[in-house]
């Protein structure tokens, strides 16, 4: 585990993007291609703003993402497909973007994305941490045991409150109750995990992640078991356990 702390979200996002680009370029140099897994949400804004300007041979990169609400169309502002198309996919010339589809036949959608993601490990995975300590939509208590790549999950109240507070939905009651989420076990198969976590609202989750024992009650604690986990914080997110001078 390596913890990187920066004064501002912009500095944090820039350095995280530089590191992710370095990892992608290493994979491209070694194999001629790279596989990238990304998170979404307000906490990832600064990362994507910087990542689209990094010098990567993007046509050799295949992008996957973590989750999607069930029943939410890609035209809704909270759709993660919409988010990624606007903030990343439309701005770089990716080789391919593999999306999680939360509409229609859910079992078929899960089977299709599972077939694609299990072909090879992710070279680098950008895995955010929620205010309730979730990774993807694996809210506490998270299922650490399932070996399925994508699962259907129910969102807890704290997760719904976060989504509404960030402006994606008018109220917590408007947030869909279920989502397709990458499982914890699949996330941990990535060769390198990079967690970009800014803002004071994440300080408690970061403190719990770093100081509490590994537990499904704080899902992000499982990241501490990964052999190549890099945590990027701004000063506000880090203030629960350290003061940046």
Mean pLDDT (the chain, rounded): 96
Give the residue among 128, 124, 126 at the shortest CA–CA distance from 198.
Answer: 128
Q: Does the structure show a pLDDT above 70 at 15? A: yes
Percent of the chain with pLDDT over 70: 98
Strands (E), 84-166: 96-98, 124-126, 150-154
Q: What is the pTM of this model?
A: 0.95
Q: Does the structure show a pLDDT above 60 at 93? A: yes
- Which pLDDT tens digit goes with each residue over 102-138? 999 999 999 999 999 999 999 999 999 999 999 999 9
Q: Which two tokens stand for residue 55?
A: 């010098």
What was the pLDDT predicted at 106?
96
Q: Which two tokens stand for residue 194?
A: 């990079």
- Which pLDDT tens digit goes with each residue over 94-104? 999 999 999 99
Q: Does the structure show a pLDDT above 90 at 148? A: yes
pLDDT confidence band for 243 (50 / 70 / 90) = low
What was the pLDDT predicted at 186?
98
Q: Does the structure show a pLDDT above 60 at 149? A: yes
Give the residue among 225, 198, 70 at the shortest CA–CA distance from 131.
Answer: 198
Give the residue among 142, 125, 143, 122 at the shortest CA–CA distance from 134.
Answer: 142
What was the pLDDT predicted at 242?
67
Give residue for tokens 């208590």.
141
Q: Does the structure show a pLDDT above 90 at 241? A: no
- Which pLDDT tens digit goes with each residue over 33-51? 999 999 999 999 999 999 9
What was the pLDDT predicted at 111?
97
Name, in order, each residue with C-beta under 8 angstroms of 107's C-beta and a sequence gap of 6 or more: none
Torsion of CA 167, 170, 174, 177, to 10 degrees: 20
Domains of the chain, start order: 2-238 (3.40.50.1360)
Q: Calculate mean pLDDT across residues 74-93.
A: 96
Q: Does the structure show a pLDDT above 80 at 244? A: no
What was the pLDDT predicted at 60?
98
Residue 85 CA from chain centroid, whole number: 15
Cα–Cα distance, 6 to 138 (Å, whole number): 27
Q: Calculate mean pLDDT across residues 85-93.
A: 97
Q: Does the structure show a pLDDT above 50 at 226? A: yes
What was the pLDDT predicted at 137?
96
Name, in order, each residue with C-beta under 8 angstroms of 132's C-beta and a sequence gap of 6 or more: 139, 140, 156, 158, 159, 162, 205
Q: Does the structure show a pLDDT above 50 at 245? A: no
């Amino acid at each position: 585990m390596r913890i990187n702390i920066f004064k501002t979200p912009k500095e944090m996002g820039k350095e995280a993007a530089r590191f992710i680009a370095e990892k992608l370029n290493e994979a491209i140099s070694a194999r001629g291609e790279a596989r990238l897994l990304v998170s979404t949400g307000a906490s990832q804004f600064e990362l994507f703003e910087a990542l689209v300007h990094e010098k990567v041979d993007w046509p050799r990169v295949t992008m996957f993402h973590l989750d999607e609400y069930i029943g939410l169309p890609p035209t809704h502002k909270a759709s993660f497909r919409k988010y990624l198309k606007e903030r990343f996919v439309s701005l770089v010339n990716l080789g391919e973007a593999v999306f999680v589809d939360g509409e229609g036949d859910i079992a078929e959608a899960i089977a299709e994305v599972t077939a694609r993601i299990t072909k090879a490990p992710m070279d680098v995975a950008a895995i955010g941490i929620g205010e309730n300590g979730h990774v993807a939509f694996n809210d506490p208590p998270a299922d650490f045991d399932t070996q399925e790549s994508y699962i259907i999950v129910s969102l807890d109240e704290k997760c719904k409150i976060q989504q509404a507070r960030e402006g994606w939905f008018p109220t917590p009651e408007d947030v869909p109750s279920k989502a397709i989420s990458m499982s914890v076990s699949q996330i941990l198969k990535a060769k390198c995990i990079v967690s970009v976590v800014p803002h004071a609202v994440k300080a408690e989750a970061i403190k719990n992640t770093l100081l509490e024992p590994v537990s499904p009650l704080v899902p992000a604690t499982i990241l501490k078991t990964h052999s190549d986990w890099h945590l990027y914080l701004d000063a506000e997110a880090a203030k629960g356990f350290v003061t940046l001078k």
